[in-house]
Amino acid sequence: MGLELNKIHIPGIREKMPLVISGPCSAETEEQVMETARKLSACGVQVFRAGIWKPRTKPGGFEGNGEKALPWLKQVKKETGMLVTTEVATPAHVEAALRMEVDILWIGARTSANPFAIQDLADCLTGVEIPVFVKNPVSPDIELWVGALERFNRAGIRQLGAIHRGFSSADQKIYRNMPLWHIPIELHRRYPMLPILCDPSHMGGRPELIAPLSQQALDMGFDGLMIESHVCPTCAWSDAKQQITPEVLHEILDHLVLREAVESTEILEGLRKQIDEMDDQLMDLLSKRMYISRQIAQYKKEQNMRIVQSQRYAEILDKRAEQGSRCKMDPDFVRRTFEAIHEESVRQQTDIFKS
Ligand code: PEP
Ligand code: MN
């Protein structure tokens, strides 16, 4: 099924500037909201975000200020002229947000994973003209994401957008949520008119990953970014590890390179991105392999065994070299690669023996 879409109307989008939605993970106090908003507005952010109802994985965390914080968003609009957006997860949230003239709604990853919750939200938005951004569900299931978009579209929401925030995986190393870029790329293939933003904050989970992920997303043709920003990231009541100050955001935005979509190199770019993603996966696998290797070292140390057991090493090399030639790779190349991996593995094991 296709999606019937109208252009999302966001006044003030700067020429050649992607849509930037930014603001704190949570609206904590009026002062924090206003101070952050003033600074973000000064760096050209078009839409201010702040979570008011926070879905927390575990109980006991800060679950948001609720309706009390809505007037702060209204004040942000009034004072800075930025549009405002917040996450809604229940019809009661939608009604409260609409009453307070929130301009854009977004659906969080935990909610878009639940078709019953999405249907309730879609039902209560029937006949309402408001842009809705749907974050990908926590699990890498494109149909669940598409299903959520379709439910809103069937309820008459025409100003729809998607936000790619990565997918959770049991054993993340580099990213808080795995990018799995092929999923939003497939979404774009199916619905070329659907704007897709990237949320590098929740994807990376660390400030230093925000710039490279943002650049990567723009290079891949994403339509904009949602980035968490807080006047004092380390004092944030939620997601303190990944937020950046408005000043740092300014720096990042200033350094983003906006590329022309040139027909002739698109294919090449797409292929290179696939290579980058595979390299990321390779790095992730290698680091997991080293982790197992360190566990082996711990065990060998306790059992008073030697680090290198040459028979096992020779077996690994032979097996992989032979497999390499079956997979159209030079067996020597495969041998050298595994020798290098083994060398690093032994180095790490030696460190454990020494400790
Ligand atoms: C958020 O944007 O603060 C949030 C909770 O994001 P997600 O739904 O992507 O986890
Ligand atoms: Mn957050």
pLDDT in tens, 308-349: 778 888 898 999 999 999 999 999 899 999 999 999 999 999
With a 6 A CB cut-off, is 204 part of the ligand 1 pocket? no
Residue nearest to atom 8 of ligand 1 (CA): 108
Average pLDDT, the chain: 93
Separation between Cα atoms, residue 353 and residue 355, nearest integer Å = 6
Give ranges for CATH 3.20.20.70 in the chain: 19-255
Task: Find the mean pLDDT for residues 281-300.
Answer: 95
With a 6 A CB cut-off, is 108 part of the ligand 1 pocket? yes
14 pLDDT band, cuts 50/70/90, is very low
Position 11 scores a pLDDT of: 62
**Nearest alpha-carbon partner for 128 in 158, 151, 150:** 158
User: Which of 6-15, 61-70, 168-177 is the least confident region?
Assistant: 6-15
Looking from the CA of 216 toward its CB, the CA atoms found within 13 Å total: 24
CB atoms within 10 A of CB 243: 27
Residue nearest to atom 5 of ligand 1 (CA): 108
CB neighbour burial string for 197-206, b if at least 16 within 10 angstroms, e if fewer: bbbbbbbbbe
Please name the CATH architecture into which domain 19-255 falls: Alpha-Beta Barrel (3.20)
Separation between Cα atoms, residue 44 and residue 46, nearest integer Å = 6
**Fold classification of 266-354 (topology level):** Chorismate Mutase Domain, subunit A (1.20.59)
Q: Is the dihedral of CA 170, 49, 142, 181 positive or negative?
A: negative
Task: Find the mean pLDDT for residues 250-259.
Answer: 92
| pLDDT of 164 strictly over 70 | yes
Ligand 1 pocket test, pick from 53, 65, 87 with the greatest ligand atom count within 8 Å of Cβ, gives 87
Tens of pLDDT, residue by residue over 87-123, are 999 999 999 999 999 999 999 999 999 999 999 999 9
For the CA of 51, the closest atom of ligand 1 is 3
DSSP assignment letter at 256? P
With a 6 A CB cut-off, is 51 part of the ligand 1 pocket? yes
Which residues make Cβ contacts (< 8 Å) with residue 296, sequence separation at least 6?
Answer: 349
| Residue type at 264 in one-letter notation | S
**Tokens 């294919």 correspond to what residue?**
267
